[in-house]
């Protein structure tokens, strides 16, 4: 393991410790801590993982087993905006496959990939609970409903051709 374990920032520690106050043991906040660090750094690097594990008094291996279980904990760098494209059944009926093709053409990335300028990462996601507005997708924290191939370019700002 690397000796270069960076300390977590004061802010990150404060937020993690606030979670620890209401659980019976430190490792119980593993998921909260991963999310806190990810909110500050965009993703969870090996170094961050080790620092969190130390702070929670658990092994990095166990924490990694938890981190990799959850699809919204990123163990690889992602772009500034993560696109979550719903590909569950109603969105499939309403054409999410062709939307995905259009997004891939427009941004030049497939599922799981990030644009070279680091602006976008494209990921599939489970039913977003907005099936009456299918097809839907999220860009960052923003939900976009009734998406059409025509409306796609506007979602990606000046990137749209």
Output the six-digit token pair for 48: 């961050």
Which range binds other proteins by CB under 8 A, 4-12, 45-53, 88-96, 105-113? 88-96
Q: Say which residues have a Cβ less than 8 Å from residue 104's Cβ, sequence separation at least 6.
A: 110, 111, 122
CB-based contact 83:93 (threshold 8 Å): no
Nearer to other proteins, 117 or 149 (CB): 149
Q: Kindly identify the residues of this chain, within the stretch 37-66, that bind other proteins according to CB under 8 A.
A: 65-66
Question: Residue 70 interacts with other proteins (CB under 8 A)?
Answer: yes
Q: Is 136 in the site for ligand FES (CB under 6 A)?
A: yes
C-alpha–C-alpha distance, residues 23 and 80, integer Å = 32
Which residues are registered as beta bridge partners of 85? Answer: 124, 137
Q: Please identify, among the stretches 3-11, 47-55, 95-103, 112-120, the one whose residues bind other proteins according to the rule CB under 8 A.
A: 95-103
Which residues sit at the interface with ligand FES, rule CB under 6 A? 86, 88-91, 127-128, 130-131, 134, 136
């Amino acid at each position: 393991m690397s000796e270069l374990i960076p300390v977590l920032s004061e802010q990150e520690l404060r937020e993690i410790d606030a979670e620890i106050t209401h659980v019976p043991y430190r490792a119980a906040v593993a998921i909260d801590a991963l999310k806190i660090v990810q909110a500050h750094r965009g993703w969870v690097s090996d170094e961050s993982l080790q620092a969190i594990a130390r702070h929670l008094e658990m092994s990095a291996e166990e924490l990694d087993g938890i981190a990799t279980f959850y699809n919204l904990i990123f163990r690889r760098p992602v772009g500034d905006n993560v696109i979550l494209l719903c590909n569950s059944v109603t969105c499939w009926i309403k054409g999410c496959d062709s939307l995905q093709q259009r997004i891939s053409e427009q941004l030049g990335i497939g599922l799981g990939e990030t644009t070279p300028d680091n602006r976008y990462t494209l990921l599939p996601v489970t039913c977003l609970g907005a099936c009456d507005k299918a097809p839907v997708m999220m860009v960052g924290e923003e939900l976009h409903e009734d998406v059409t191939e025509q409306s796609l370019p506007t979602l990606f700002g000046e990137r749209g051709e």
